[in-house]
Amino acid sequence: MRLNVNGNTHEVDVEEDMPLLWVLRDELGITGPKYGCGIAQCGACTVHVDGMAVRSCQLAVGDVDGEITTIEGLGTPDALHAVQAAWVEHQVAQCGYCQSGQIMAAAAFLDLNDDPSDEEIDRAMSANLCRCGTYPRIREAVKTAAANLRSA
Amino acid sequence: MKTKIFGLIVLLAATATAIAANETSEVTMPAEGSVSVEEGLEAWSRVYEVASHPRCSNCHTGESGIPMWSGPSYGKTRPHGMNISAGESRIGAEFVTCGTCHIKTDRGNTVPHAAPMVNMDWQLAPAEADWFGKSSREICEQLRDPERNGGRTWQELAEHLDHDLILHWAWNPGGGREPAPYSLLEHIDDVLAWGVAGMPCPQG
């Protein structure tokens, strides 16, 4: 089976019903996406398929029908995505486990709405859980990222 | 007059894994005048049992765009967790798309508490079809009003039931969820009987 992940093509020999998250982490060694709940309740495994946020723990690899982007492919250390840069600026992460999913969710959200209200941010980000409670910083970082995307 | 109006993909409700099998059956339209108003009202009462069942009504919410969690496997009735709103788009495009968690797949639903999945894009019903918490009369009057039912005749309402896979899921929800009552085929028969009887609605 052929997968495009972060611009690279990979050939993987796996069962079609293996969750994409397993393939990314165990087969391809792409460990940014995290396992949290396994039932799309927490958001730690969020990646993009053709730019849309998706819970990779729920997506069978045989059902993938687009190009996959993980946190590793969103930006580079030299050219961070606006959301990543805002995360650094606001020092959002505490333990960090959920942050890959948070950033991927925020990036997909801002792609469709680059001038969100606080309420819209809360709607968009509430499906990604953070046990450290970094939510206030997440909201501020999303606002900063939105402003930077608009002025880019 | 017996007119076969459409082939029907029959849902095999007893099958735990399959969403729908490609088994084709046919629905026979009841002859004009063959269903009394009283029988039509009885058919409607069964249609209402389906429409008001959580598998249907949880996603038939109004302009709030907020789906509900209710029913035997959901505990207390409450809005969909995670602060979810499907927005005006009804697919969550403004916030989190329904498809972020409700993956498009035909692999079925086996895991309790996981987001239900079917092989089409998950979405709310149109805001006009606001059924959650509504009375039998209110839903009946909405369904027979072309202004609020997508401009459909009762035959088209019945036909619509044939091709919406989210709707088919209601009878085979998996994951320990209670299915909608009766069966898809019985539901279509009831909609047709109600239609032939002149779409009577309960008063009061």
pLDDT surpasses 50 at B71: yes
Average pLDDT, chain B: 88
Which chain A residues touch B114 with a CB distance below 8 Å?
Answer: 39-40, 58
Interface test with A, best of B69, B94, B95, B106 (most A CBs within 10 A): B95
pLDDT of residue B25: 58
pLDDT of residue B26: 67
Q: What would the pLDDT profile of B88-134 be if each residue is shown by its tens digit?
A: 999 999 999 999 999 999 999 999 999 999 999 999 999 999 999 99
Structural domain A2-73, CATH architecture: Roll (3.10)
Which chain A residues touch B101 with a CB distance below 8 Å?
Answer: 40, 55, 58, 127
The class (CATH top level) of A75-151 is mainly alpha
Which chain B residues touch A123 with a CB distance below 8 Å?
Answer: 83-85, 94-96
Confidence of residue B146 (pLDDT cuts 50, 70, 90): very high
pLDDT of residue A100: 98
Contact present, B198 and B37 (Cβ < 8 Å): yes
- Give mean pLDDT, residues B65-73: 95
B83–A126 C-beta distance less than 8 A: yes
Written in H, E and C, the secondary structure of B61-112 is CCCCCCCEECCCCCCCCEECCCCCCCCCCCCCCCCCCHHHCCCECCCCCCCC
B15 Cα distance to chain centroid: 19
pLDDT surpasses 50 at A106: yes
Q: Pick the residue with more confidence: B8 or A6?
A: A6
Question: Whole-angstrom distance between the N-terminal and C-terminal Cα of chain A?
Answer: 38
Amino acid at A6: N
Closest chain B residue to A63 measured between Cα atoms?
Answer: B105
B120 Cα distance to chain centroid: 15
- Give mean pLDDT, residues A54-73: 98
Whether B135 has its CB under 8 Å from any CB of chain A: the answer is: no
CATH 1.10.150.120 domain span(s) along chain A: 75-151
Which residue of A60, A105, A127 is in closest CB contact with B84? A127
- Give mean pLDDT, residues A69-96: 97
pLDDT surpasses 50 at A138: yes
* pTM score over 0.95: no
pLDDT surpasses 60 at B177: yes
Residue of A24, A101, A46 whose CA lies nearest to B99: A46
- Give mean pLDDT, residues A57-69: 98
What are the CA-CA distances from residue B16 to residues A6, A44, B21, B172, B176 (Å)?
36, 29, 12, 7, 10
pLDDT of residue B163: 83
pLDDT surpasses 60 at B4: no
A17–B107 C-beta distance less than 8 A: yes
pLDDT surpasses 60 at B16: no
Tokens 């990222």 label which residue?
Answer: A145
CATH 3.10.20.30 domain span(s) along chain A: 2-73
What are the CA-CA distances from residue B3 to residues A91, A99, B11, B32 (Å)?
68, 59, 22, 10
Assigned token pair, B44: 């409607």
Residue of A22, A24, A37, A19 whose CA lies nearest to A98: A37
Which residue of B84, B85, B114 is in closest CB contact with A58? B114
pLDDT surpasses 50 at B20: no
User: How distant is the Cα of A58 from the closest Cα of chain B, in angstroms?
Assistant: 7
pLDDT of residue A152: 82
- Give mean pLDDT, residues B55-80: 96
C-alpha–C-alpha distance, residues B59 and B69, integer Å? 9
Q: Tell me how long chain A is.
A: 152
Cβ pairs A/B, distance under 8 A: 67
Confidence of residue B74 (pLDDT cuts 50, 70, 90): confident
